Chains A and B, each alone.
Chain A
Amino acid sequence: MEKGIDRSNKFGNTLKVGWFLAKRQIKGSNKATTLLIIFIMMLTFLNLVVVSGILVGLIEGGNIANREQYTGDVIIKTLPGEKDIGKTYEITNTLEKMHGVKYFSVRYFEGGQIEANYKTRRDFDTLQDLVSTQITGINIKNEEELSNISDYIVEGEFLKEGESGYIIMGSSLLRRYSADFGDYFASLEGVYPGEEVKVTVGDNTRTFIVKGILDSKVGEVSLRAFITEEDFWRLSDRPGLNGNEISISIIPGATLTSTELKSNLIKAGFENQGKIQTALEAIPDFLNQIKIAFSLLGNVIGLIGIAVASITIFIVIFINAVTRRKYIGIMKGIGISERAIEISYIFQSIFYATLGGLLGLLLVYGGLVPLFLAHPLDFPFSDGILVAPVPDTTFKFFLLLLVTLIAGYIPARRIVKKNTLDSILGR
Chain B
Amino acid sequence: MIKVKNLHKKYATKHLETLVLKGIDLEVKEGEFLGIMGRSGAGKSTLMYQMSLLDHPSGGEILIDGANTENMSPKERTQMRLGTLGYVFQDYALIPELTASENVMIPLLMRGNTLKEAKDIADGVLGKIGLSHRIENKPSQLSGGEQQRVAVARAMAHDPKILFADEPTANLDTVSGESVIELFEELHKKGQTIVMVTHEDEYAKYCDRIVYLEDGKIVKESRKK
Segment with Cβ contacts to A, from B21-29, B111-119, B196-204: B111-119
Chain A interface (Cβ < 8 Å from any Cβ of B) = 1, 3-10, 13-14, 16-17, 20-21, 24-25, 27-29, 326-327, 330-338, 340, 420-421, 424
- B97 lies within 8 A of A13 (CB): no
Q: Which residues of B contact A20 (CB under 8 A)?
A: 102, 105-106, 109, 115
Count A-B contacts at CB 8 Å.
98
- B83 near A1 with CB under 8 A, answer no
Instruction: Tell me whether A424 and B93 are in contact (CB under 8 A).
Output: yes
Asked if residues B54 and A424 are in contact (CB atoms below 8 Å), the reply is: yes
Given A327-B95, A330-B89, A330-B95: A5 touches B112 (CB 8 Å cut-off): yes
Query: A170: shortest Cβ distance to chain B, in Å?
Result: 69
A4, A5, A7, A420: the one contacting B54 at CB < 8 Å is A420
A sample of 5 cross-chain residue pairs with beta-carbon separation below 8 angstroms, ordered by A number, consists of: A17-B106, A20-B105, A335-B107, A421-B49, A424-B93
Q: Mark B148-190, 1 if CB is under 8 A from A, else 0.
A: 0000001101110000000000000000000000000000000
Instruction: Please give me the residue from chain B that is nearest to A4 by CB atom.
Output: B159
Please state if A13 and B110 are interface contacts (CB–CB under 8 Å).
yes
A4 lies within 8 A of B158 (CB): yes
* B112 lies within 8 A of A335 (CB): no
Interface residues on B, range: 35 or more
- Of B86, B102, B112, B121, the residue contacting A8 (CB under 8 A) is B112
A14 contacts which chain B residues (CB < 8 A)? Answer: 110
Q: How far is A338 from B158 in the complex, measured between Cα atoms in Å?
A: 20
Contact B121 A336 (CB under 8 A): no
A contact residues around B82 at 8 Å (CB): 6, 8, 334-336
Interface residues of B (CB under 8 A from A): 49, 54-55, 75, 78-79, 81-83, 85-87, 89, 93, 95-98, 102, 105-113, 115, 117, 120-121, 154-155, 157-159
In the complex with contacts A10-B112, A421-B49, A3-B121 CB distance below 8 A = yes
Ranked 4 nearest A-B pairs via Cβ = A335-B82, A7-B112, A28-B97, A335-B81
Q: CB distance A3 to B159 under 8 Å? A: yes
Q: Which residues does chain A contribute within 8 Å of B54, judged by CB atoms?
A: 333, 420-421, 424
How far is A340 from B95 in the complex, measured between Cα atoms in Å? 15
Main secondary structure of the interface of B (DSSP, over half): helix
Provide the bound-state CA to CA distance between A7 and B98, in Å: 23
Known contacts: A5-B111, A20-B106. The answer to whether A334 contacts B81 by CB under 8 A is yes
Q: Judging by beta carbons under 8 Å apart, are A335 and B83 in contact?
A: yes
Alpha-carbon distance A21/B108, docked complex (angstroms): 13
- Minimum CB–CB distance from A60 to chain B (whole Å) comes to 48
Are A334 and B109 CB-contacts (below 8 A) given A6-B83, A424-B89? no
Let me know if A5 and B113 touch, CB within 8 A. yes
Q: What separation, in Å, do the CA atoms of A171 and B54 have in the docked complex?
A: 83
Closest to A419 in B: B55
Establish whether residues A337 and B112, one from each chain, have CB atoms under 8 Å apart when the complex forms.
Answer: no
A3 and B106 form a contact (CB under 8 A): no
Question: A13 with B81: in contact, given A20-B106, A27-B97 (CB under 8 Å)?
Answer: no
Give, as a whole number of angstroms, the nearest-CB distance from A282 to chain B: 62
Distance between Cα atoms of A289 and B55 in the complex (Å): 63
Q: Is A25 in contact with B107, judged by CB distance below 8 angstroms?
A: no
Residues of A within 8 A of B121 (CB): 1, 3
Would A337 and B55 be within 8 Å (CB), given that A1-B117, A27-B97, A327-B96 are in contact? no
B54 nearest CB neighbor, chain A only? A421
**Assembly CA distance A338 to B79 (angstroms):** 11
Interfacial chain A residues near B97, Cβ < 8 Å: 24-25, 27-29
A16 touches B111 (CB 8 A): no
Query: Which residue on B lies nearest to A3, using beta carbons?
Result: B159
**Closest chain B CB from A21 CB (angstroms):** 8
In contact, B102 and A24 (Cβ under 8 angstroms)? yes
Indicate if the CB atoms of A336 and B106 lie closer than 8 Å: yes
Extra pairs beyond A8-B82, A336-B106 (15, CB < 8 Å):
A1-B117, A3-B157, A5-B113, A6-B83, A6-B111, A7-B112, A13-B109, A16-B109, A17-B109, A20-B109, A327-B95, A334-B155, A335-B79, A335-B85, A337-B75
